[in-house]
């Protein structure tokens, strides 16, 4: 099915096969998130566009934003129970970033669909590079209940604004940007940054989804199918991850980063026409 970035904002009527592919897409994204701890949501948009064949780029972005949001909030529960969430910092980051995400998603809705996908593909290449450089960070020497300094709060707000704007514009959770933003601005341990980031991932995605829904750019049926697949995939991916050593996870991270890069290059090629070039 050809992707028409200017299709009607009314949700498309999909076949049974496409509905099944939507569930499988959610399963793949959730499995990746559970297995390697990130990156899966960046594939949600191309999966719905090119595997499921959804005909509207903007509806895909709004729909995947909702799915990412729900999955993030669900994954937040076990982290909160384990004490991995620093609520003050995470709530400030989420609230500031949500305002920026609303502005970013409003801007994203106004951008031509093909140009938006082209820029999204460039972001995928950046994330793939970050995944290739991913290393286990050194332990942070910060007390769990230490109060952040004024400078730390200022860095936190600045990072939240930038990350929220990007997350809203591209309709992604932004976990790969939020985690280092929290860790570098506050000095919190990485496990706390990962747990705390889910508050923002969920909030940014929900803000973007609501903004797109206001314009009729959200397909609730597809979102529910994607969420259902994502929950099942995340559970399975987490179980597999517990049986893998550090070396095994590193190899999977490398493979996944290369996959993201290949998909990004394909998206760039498919959307060259937005700039007057024809593949």
Q: What is the model's pLDDT at position 271? A: 81
Q: At residue 212, does pLDDT exceed 60?
A: yes
- From the number of C-beta atoms within 10 Å of its C-beta (0-12, 13-18, 19+), residue 181 rates as buried
Q: Which two tokens stand for residue 97?
A: 């970033």
Task: Compute the mean pLDDT over every residue in the chain, rounded to the nearest whole number.
Answer: 81
Q: Domain-by-domain residue ranges, the chain?
A: 16-275
Rounded distance between C-alpha atoms, residue 33 and residue 27, angstroms: 10
Q: At residue 11, does pLDDT exceed 70?
A: no
Q: Which two tokens stand for residue 56?
A: 């509207």
Which of 12-45 are b and which e, b meaning 16 or more Cβ less than 10 Å from the residue's Cβ?
bebeeebeebbbbbbbbbbbbbbbbbbbbbbbbb
Q: At residue 238, does pLDDT exceed 80?
A: no
Q: What is the model's pLDDT at position 244? A: 66
Contact between residue 168 and residue 204 where contact means Cβ atoms under 8 Å apart:
yes
Is this structure's pTM higher than 0.85? Answer: no
């Amino acid at each position: 099915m050809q992707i028409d970035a200017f299709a009607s904002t009314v949700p498309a009527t999909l076949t049974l096969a496409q509905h099944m592919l939507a569930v499988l897409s959610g399963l793949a994204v959730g499995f990746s998130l559970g297995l390697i701890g990130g990156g899966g949501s960046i594939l949600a948009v191309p999966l719905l566009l090119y595997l499921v064949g959804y005909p509207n780029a903007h509806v895909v972005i709004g729909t995947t934003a909702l799915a990412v949001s729900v999955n993030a909030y669900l994954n937040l529960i076990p982290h909160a129970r384990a004490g991995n969430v620093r609520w003050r910092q995470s709530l400030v980051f989420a609230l500031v970033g949500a305002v920026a995400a609303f502005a970013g998603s409003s801007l994203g809705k106004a951008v031509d669909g093909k140009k938006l996908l082209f820029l999204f593909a460039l972001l995928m290449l950046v994330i793939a590079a970050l995944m290739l450089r991913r290393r286990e960070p050194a332990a942070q020497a910060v007390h769990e209940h230490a109060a952040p300094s004024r400078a730390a709060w200022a860095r936190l707000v600045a990072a939240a604004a930038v990350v929220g704007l990007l997350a809203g514009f591209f309709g992604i959770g932004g976990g790969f940007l939020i985690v280092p933003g929290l860790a570098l601005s506050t000095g919190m341990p990485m496990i706390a940054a990962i747990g705390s980031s889910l508050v923002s991932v969920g909030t940014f995605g929900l803000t973007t989804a609501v903004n797109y829904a206001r314009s009729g750019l959200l397909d609730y049926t597809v979102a529910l199918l994607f969420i259902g697949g994502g929950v099942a995939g995340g559970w399975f991916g987490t179980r597999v991850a517990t049986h893998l050593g550090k070396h095994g996870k590193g190899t999977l991270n490398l493979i996944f980063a290369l996959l993201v890069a290949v998909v990004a290059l394909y998206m760039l090629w498919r959307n060259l026409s937005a700039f007057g070039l024809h593949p």
